[in-house]
Amino acid sequence: MKIHHLNCGTCCPVGGKLFDGYSSGLSAHLVCHCLLIETNDGLILIDTGYGTQDNRRPRERLSDFFLALNRPRLLPQETALAQVRALGFRPEDVRHIVVTHLDFDHAGGIEDFPNARIHVTAREKEVADQRRGGVFVSRKRYRPQQWDTVANWSLYPLGGGERWFGFDAVRGLEGLPPEILLVPLAGHTWGHAGIAVQEDDGRWLFYAGDAYFHHGEVSAQRHCPPGLAGYQRLMQVDAEARRVNQRRVRALALDHGDSVRLFCAHDRTEFDAFARA
Ligand SMILES: [Zn+2]
Cα–ligand 1 centroid distance for 106 (angstroms): 6
Chain segment 108-142, per-residue pLDDT in tens: 999 999 999 999 999 999 999 988 655 567 889 99
Cα–ligand 1 centroid distance for 170 (angstroms): 21
Q: How far is CA 96 from the centre of its chain?
A: 15
Cα–ligand 1 centroid distance for 238 (angstroms): 16
Q: Which pLDDT does position 277 carry in this prediction?
A: 86
Q: Which pLDDT does position 41 carry in this prediction?
A: 87
Cα–ligand 1 centroid distance for 49 (angstroms): 8
pTM for the full model? 0.96
Chain segment 192-234, per-residue pLDDT in tens: 999 999 999 999 999 999 999 999 999 999 999 999 999 999 9
Cα–ligand 1 centroid distance for 103 (angstroms): 6
Cα–ligand 1 centroid distance for 105 (angstroms): 5
Rounded CA-CA distance 242/249 in Å is 10
Residues 6+ apart with CB under 8 A from 32: 7, 8, 9, 10, 11, 47, 49, 50, 105, 106, 265, 266
Count of C-beta atoms within a 10 Å radius of residue 90: 11
Q: Are strands 33-39 and 42-46 parallel, antiparallel or unpaired?
A: antiparallel
Percent of the chain with pLDDT over 90: 92
Chain segment 254-264, per-residue pLDDT in tens: 999 999 999 99
Cα–ligand 1 centroid distance for 74 (angstroms): 15
Cα–ligand 1 centroid distance for 22 (angstroms): 19
Amino acid at 199: E
Cα–ligand 1 centroid distance for 139 (angstroms): 15
Q: Following DSSP, what letter does each residue of the chain receive, concatenated?
A: -EEEEEE---B--BTHHHHHSS--SSB--B--EEEEEEETTEEEEE---S-HHHHH-HHHHS-HHHHHHH-B---GGGSHHHHHHHTT--GGGEEEEE-S--BHHHHTTGGG-TTPEEEEEHHHHHHHHHT-SSTTTHHHHB-GGGTTT---EEEE-SSS-EEETTEEEEEE-TTS-TTEEEEE-TTSSTT-EEEEEE-TTS-EEEE-TTS-SSGGGGSSS----HHHHHHHHHH-S-HHHHHHHHHHHHHHHHHSTTTEEEE-SS-HHHHHHHHH-
Cα–ligand 1 centroid distance for 229 (angstroms): 13
Mean pLDDT for 42-52 is 98
The b-or-e profile of 107-131 (16+ CB within 10 A means b, else e) is bbbbbbbeebbbbbbebbbebbeee
Mean pLDDT for 141-158 is 95
Q: Order across the sheet with 153-156: list the strands.
A: 2-7, 33-39, 42-46, 94-98, 117-121, 153-156
